[in-house]
Amino acid sequence: MVAETVMMTPQDDATATTDPAMRSTSHGATPPTAIATSDASAAPVDAAPSADGDASVSRAKAAKGSKRKKDQRTEEELALHAEFRAKKRMARKERKRNVKAAANAAAAEPDYYFSRGYRFVTPYVYEFRTHAKERWFGRTLLAMFTEEFGANSPEYYRAAIASGRITVNNKIVSPDTVIKNRDLVVHKAHRHEPPVSGEEVAIYHEDDEVLVVAKPPSMPTHPCGAYRHNSLHTIVSRMRPDLPTLNIVHRLDRLTSGIVILAKSGAKAKALAQCISDREASKTYLARVRGHVPLQLDDAFKQQLVATARANCAASEVSFLQDDSGADVIHVSCPLRCLSPRDAVWECHADGKESQTRVRVRRLDRATTLVECKPITGRTHQIRLHLQLLGFPIANDPCYGGELHFGESAERRAAIAVAAAQRETEASTRATAPADFTTPQRDGESDDEFLRRTCPWCHHDRGADAAYNETQLHCARIWLHALEYKLGGHVFQVPEPSWAAPSDDY
């Protein structure tokens, strides 16, 4: 239908209405309309015509004719024509975006390498470029970076501003520069991404529309924060260059492992996401919690769960039912809200959004219980918060009631001790080592050379070893695993994690 209405493009309008009688004539020629007229006011035949006047008359007549043609169009034709032009504009913009994205990818696509069970990214030059956000207005450049981007110290930002790694409107400025509306803020960095699990991203299902993979723990689903190339989406995209369009259908917390569905088209991703939004999807997770939850819940234990939940959040509700096999199921309902956007921490609170989870006991081990969780809603950190609410947090989840490094082997604890000692050594070295962090980029110095020279990590040899040690000191995984998704008439499943097996250690 659109193709049929293309005949009325502006170019066609000009061609259709600008006939020979409306074109401006050359100097000395008589317009055809002047021969036919008998108006006494008409210019004599032998009068020298004005070229500018003829051109103006021709343009006016052409415009009038074009307007007459446009007026003859139906409302439907006008609407289709406007839609056609809008689609052309969108296509041009999309081509420009694709060209820019391809250029950026080609310019900086670092290599992966593996060491001691982790996946590392070769450090690379990265440019963060944005116009000032409204909440930044009136704040100094140094204060804004220190408060908004806490990954680096104020000393780092001072040096970056002095050297020109951070600029405002493409100029080196003072740390006390006040940010205003429309300011362009650019931060060039030599990025050392944190390492993530070196486990293979295994594909467990593929058809014409979707790809189903198992995400290792410690790996974010999307590029975010300090992670760009060490994100699941980027890793899978580089694994499968034959799939130019991959859309992650649902998110999974960085520390959580398990099933992630990627759609091969935007339309399929939208359809599946809508199923999840409409609560037409069924999800099953495994978690290992601290303490013992009995397989059969007696009245005393049920009262204990209700009382504990109410003590933690007065707006919570805990009820009990049985599944098809007759096993006891705990139904948790409690509103959740974001406590700290910067730290990505949530809490149970009466002012939050509704959330519901069903919990069933699978097995008791020495000091922990393996449970199966089915979230009815899909709030951030929902399962982790609901288990904490009941008084049985995920055993190694330090953010929500668990213990950092809970259940780690002797070998792993030794590695953690080495990491802690190494960090102390690095701290003393950084305090005394000379540095050239504030000298602006020199003539002939490439961006890579400049950023390596002014990079604190490179200067103090904080390479793979230091990154590895930092990872050892922090939480790299929790015992929460997305096991199964029932979605759009399909059942997708990945294997259980190793920590779900029976164990005498925990």
Catalytic residues, which ones? 253
DSSP at 136? G
Q: What backbone phi and psi angles, to 5 degrees, belong to 208?
A: -70, -15
By C-alpha distance, which of 483, 473, 463 is closest to 193?
A: 463
The one-character DSSP state at 231 is S
Closest CA relative to residue 402, chosen from 368, 356, 363, 377: 368
The single-letter code of the amino acid at 298 is: D
Q: Can you state the percent helix, strand and coil of the chain, rounding each to 5? A: 40, 25, 40
The DSSP line for 2-46 is HHHHGGG-HHHHHHHH--GGGSPPPTTPPPHHHHH---TTSPPTT
Report the alpha-carbon distance of residue 203 to residue 200 in Å, rounded: 9
Q: Which ranges of 359-483 does DSSP label H, i.e. alpha helix? A: 382-389, 410-432, 447-453, 456-459, 464-473
The C-alpha torsion from 384 through 390 and 396 to 399, rounded to 10°, is 60
Pick the closest to residue 197 from 238, 234, 230 (CA basis).
230
Burial class (CB in 10 A: 0-12, 13-18, 19+), 208: exposed
121: alpha, beta or left? (left if phi > 0; alpha if psi -120 to 50): beta
- Strand-pair category, 368-375 with 282-290: antiparallel
- DSSP structure class, residue 385: H
The radius of gyration of the chain from alpha carbons, rounded to an integer in Å, stands at 33
- Nearest CA to 385 among 251, 320, 471, 377? 377
Strands 480-487 and 257-263, by their bridges, are parallel
DSSP count for the chain of H helices, then E strands: 15, 19
Query: Residue 307 CB: number of other CB atoms within 10 A?
Result: 12
Treating both helix axes as pointing N-terminal to C-terminal, what angle do 410-432 and 464-473 enclose, rounded to 10 degrees?
120
